[in-house]
Amino acid sequence: MKIAVLTSGGDSPAMNAAIRAITRVGIHRNCEVFGVFGGLQGILDEQFHELNSRSVSRILHRGGTILTTGRSEEFRTKEGQKKAAKILTDRGFDALIAIGGDGTMRALDALSNHWKGWLIGLPGTIDNDLYGTDYTIGFDTAVNNALEALDKIRDTAQSFQRVFLVEVMGRTAGFIAFHVGFATGASAILMPETQTTMEELAQKVIVAKDRAKSSVLVVVAEGDELGNAHRIAAELSERIGEKCRVSVLGYIQRGGNPTHFDRILATRLGAYAIECLLNGKHGGMVGEVDGNLILTPFEETWSKKKQIDQWMLGLLDELAG
C-alpha cells in the first residue's frame, strides 16, 4: 500500500509523534509512506517526499510538524479537490492520512467525493473540539503550557492584589479555558459553551474580593460571547471600580515539547490509522474514547458536539470560594 501523510491547519504539539508512528509502523508492515509538505496545498503542488525510518528519527520530542502545514484556498473549491484527486491517482497513492482539526476532516470528506483512494484523519488540534475522541493530539501540551503561564501570572496578581483576565485559545470551544481555569483555581471561566452576562461576571469578582482573596483570576476563551479579554476587562473595570489587567497567551500555547500524554496518544492513533487501512477500514477519523481506539465517520466529527463536563462546571462557584 502506498500512503501519503500530511499535517493541515494549525500545528499542534505531538504531530511529529504521529508522523513517526505512521511512518515506522507503515514501513514495518510493508507500506510505502510519503510525506506531503505544506499541508493540503502540498498535494496540489506535488510536494511528495518518501519517508523512511531515519526520516523520522529524533522528532518524537519536537513540537510543530516536520512536514510543515498551512491552509489552501484552492483546495476549498471542487476544482481544487478534483485536481488533488487526479494527482493522488496519477502518483499511484492508495491512501491519504491527514492530521488536523475540523477543517481537515471537512477537507477529507470533500475529497472523498472525487477520489477512490482511502482516507483517514487524525485529530491534531489544541482545541480538543472534535467529536470521536476524548482528547485531541496537542491539547494536553497546550493546557500545560497555559497552566505554567497562569501560575506565574497568579504570583504577580497576588503580590499586587489585582484582578487579572487571561485569554486562552478556543474560538468555538472552551476546553482549554475549562481545564486551565479549574487547575489554577480561577474565580470565573468564560467560554463559548456557557452564557455569562457582565452583571454575573462582575458579581463573581466582587464576591471573590469580599472573601479577602489576595487575587482574582478570570480565564477567558477567545471565542466567548462577551468578546475578547481586553473588551471584557474594560467594561468589568467600570463595573467594579478597579482596573483589571489583561494577559493574552496567544501562540505560546501551541509551542514547546509535547507532554508524555500527547506523545503516547499520537503514537497510538498513528499506529491505529495504519491498522485501519490494512484491515480495510477508512472514511473517518481515528480517536480514543474511554481507552478504546475507534473510527468515527468524518461528518460526525464536526456535526456532533463534544460536551463540557457539566458536573464539574457546577462546582466552579463552590471551589472558587
Q: Return d(Cα 261, Cα 135) in angstroms, integer.
A: 10
Do 196 and 272 share a domain, yes or no? no
How confident is the model over 278-291, as a mean pLDDT?
A: 97
What tens digit of pLDDT does each residue of 178-200 get? 999 999 989 899 999 999 999 99
How confident is the model over 167-176, as a mean pLDDT?
A: 93
- pTM, to two decimals: 0.93
Q: Return d(Cα 235, Cα 214) in angstroms, integer.
A: 22
Cβ 282 vs Cβ 115: under 8 Å:
no
- CATH number, domain of 29, equals 3.40.50.450
Is 37 inside a domain boundary?
yes
Do 184 and 84 share a domain, yes or no? no
3-class DSSP assignment, residue 269 = helix
Is 196 inside a domain boundary?
yes
Is 308 inside a domain boundary?
no
How confident is the model over 218-242, as a mean pLDDT?
A: 93
How deeply is 311 buried, as exposed, middle or buried, from its count of CB atoms within 10 A (0-12, 13-18, 19+)?
exposed
Which residues form the catalytic set?
A: 127
What tens digit of pLDDT does each residue of 28-40 get? 999 999 999 999 9
Cell numbers for 148: 505554567
Is 125 inside a domain boundary?
yes
Residue carrying C-alpha cell 501523510: 5
- CATH number, domain of 234, equals 3.40.50.460
**Among 314, 308, 2, which residue's Cα sits nearest to residue 134?**
308
Do 92 and 128 share a domain, yes or no? yes
Q: How many CB atoms neighbour CB 238 within 10 A? A: 13
User: Structural domain of residue 154, as residue ranges?
Assistant: 141-254
Do 90 and 107 share a domain, yes or no? yes
Is 279 inside a domain boundary?
yes
Do 127 and 169 share a domain, yes or no? no
How confident is the model over 121-149, as a mean pLDDT?
A: 96
Do 68 and 133 share a domain, yes or no? yes
Q: How many domains, the chain?
A: 2
Do 181 and 165 share a domain, yes or no? yes
Do 75 and 132 share a domain, yes or no? yes
